[in-house]
Amino acid sequence: MTTDLRTTDLRDAVARSLEAEQRLPALPTDWADQVHQLAAARNAVILAHNYMLPDVQDVADHVGDSLALSRIAAASDADVIVFCGVHFMAETAKILAPSKTVLIPDLDAGCSLAASIEVADVLAWKTGHPDGVVVAYVNTSAAIKAEVDVCCTSSNAADVVRSIPEGKQIFFLPDQFLGAHVRRVTGRDIDVWAGECHVHAEISPSDLRATLAANPDADLLVHPECGCTTTALYLTTTGDLPAGRTKVLSTGGMVEYARDTKASRVLVATETGILHQLRKLNDSTDFMPVSARAVCPYMKMITPAKLLRSLTDNVFEVDVDPVTAARARQSVERMIEIGSPSRGGE
């Protein structure tokens, strides 16, 4: 069963997801043990993105960013992958591991960024630039991935662009803030699609300035999808923010940073689910969100009760038609070959 993310309206999706949760039996107190037993019986691996609810992160076999989870899916010898994340992530796992059963606990877990571009938009650019190279952020549907030359995540986007021969025209899609960041750090001439993630776009320059004013000595970690990325980097050039204490990183890069930092307070500009991983890794640093409103409603659809149902009822299977998957696999495999796993952006 698949869903068309472009026609999924956020409000309807949230309502459906809540209703589905209410219809489920009460969560047993030993739900985490049941999840582990069911997963062992089916040779299933549970992958969870860094934005998952804390309980879901804690029960998973692996927690990580988009690139790390794609690499784990590709290398896994499990028969079943239960993807606790959003739909494009589960689709990417299916593209990389076509013989495995890939389950997502709620099919309504879409992504506003992935829904911000259509296949026709990509084809239109390609028609106008027959020798150009199209780079797609992994937050895209399988149908888009099948039309592009190479995919990337926030962890390796700049490295992917640097791997393209100089002089080629480049189209980067669909995130305008990540695209602007990649253009800035690589110095390449890039056409950028004006899409955005509604959660990260709303972490605004004014949120950033207010949080920084209240915490002038804190370090700052910014996800490149944020609406405040350009402001953060501008403030490093004016001296309002020390360059050495400001990092633009994927969620995996933030986790690596948290492992080693000695800072007493760190401000974090991304979806707030990441705070659980950061605090678990390092309890002597105070990790604070730049915006407490930055909560992805799609990510939060994956609840413990739905994860348990996923394993008991074998739902919801994510499928990608084989022709689309074969074309998309080339661009996704290029993505997982580029960039060091622990680099986490720049």
Residue 176 interacting entry, from ligand 13P, ligand SF4, none, C-beta within 5 to 8 Å by type:
none
Q: Coil, strand or helix: which one is 26?
A: coil
- Between 112 and 291, name the residue whose CB sits nearer to ligand SF4: 112
Q: In this structure, are residues 269 and 222 in contact, taking their beta carbons and an 8 Å threshold? A: yes
- Between 154 and 311, name the residue whose CB sits nearer to ligand 13P: 154
Q: Coil, strand or helix: which one is 171?
A: strand
Q: Which residues contact 171 (CB under 8 A, 6 or more apart)?
A: 122, 125, 126, 129, 132, 133, 134, 135, 190, 191, 193
- Between 121 and 286, name the residue whose CB sits nearer to ligand SF4: 121
For ligand SF4, what does the binding mask look like between residues 104 and 123, x meaning CB under 6 A? Answer: -------xxx----------
> CB 92 → ligand SF4: shortest distance, Å?
12
Q: In this structure, are residues 126 and 134 in contact, taking their beta carbons and an 8 Å threshold? A: yes
| 155 binding ligand 13P? (CB under 6 A) | yes
Q: Which of 38, 65, 91, 229 binds ligand 13P (CB under 6 A)?
A: 65
User: Quick one: angle between helices 87-96 and 66-75, nearest 10?
Assistant: 30
- Between 57 and 154, name the residue whose CB sits nearer to ligand 13P: 154
Q: In this structure, are residues 58 and 320 in contact, taking their beta carbons and an 8 Å threshold? A: no
How many residues make contact with ligand SF4 (CB under 6 A)?
A: 12
| 157 binding ligand SF4? (CB under 6 A) | no
Stretch that binds ligand 13P, among 59-67, 181-189, 204-212, 261-269 (CB under 6 A): 59-67
Stretch that binds ligand 13P, among 76-84, 153-161, 228-236, 334-342 (CB under 6 A): 153-161
Q: Which residues contact 263 (CB under 8 A, 6 or more apart)?
A: 218, 219, 245, 285
Stretch that binds ligand 13P, among 33-41, 149-157, 164-172, 318-326 (CB under 6 A): 149-157
Any idea how long the chain is? 346
| 112 binding ligand 13P? (CB under 6 A) | no
> CB 333 → ligand 13P: shortest distance, Å?
17
| 50 binding ligand SF4? (CB under 6 A) | no
Q: Which of 147, 196, 225, 346 binds ligand 13P (CB under 6 A)?
A: 225
Q: In this structure, are residues 246 and 179 in contact, taking their beta carbons and an 8 Å threshold? A: no
Helix or strand run (H / E) with residue 190: strand 190-192
CA atoms within 13 A on the CB side of 53: 12
Q: In this structure, are residues 302 and 109 in contact, taking their beta carbons and an 8 Å threshold? A: yes
- Between 153 and 310, name the residue whose CB sits nearer to ligand 13P: 153
Q: How many CB atoms lie within 10 A of CB 312?
A: 11
Residue 66 interacting entry, from ligand 13P, ligand SF4, none, C-beta within 5 to 8 Å by type:
ligand 13P
Stretch that binds ligand SF4, among 74-82, 147-155, 248-256, 294-302 (CB under 6 A): 294-302
For ligand SF4, what does the binding mask look like between residues 55 and 94, x meaning CB under 6 A? Answer: -------------------------------x--------
| 250 binding ligand 13P? (CB under 6 A) | yes
For ligand 13P, what does the binding mask look like between residues 67 and 86, x meaning CB under 6 A? Answer: x-------------------
d(CA 67, CA 331): 13
Q: Which amino acid is at 330?
A: Q
DSSP letter string, 96-138: H-TTSEEE-S-TT---TTGGG--HHHHHHHHHH-TT-EEEEES
Residue 112 interacting entry, from ligand SF4, ligand 13P, none, C-beta within 5 to 8 Å by type:
ligand SF4
Positions in the binding site for ligand SF4 (CB under 6 A): 86, 111-113, 139, 197, 199-200, 271, 296, 298-299
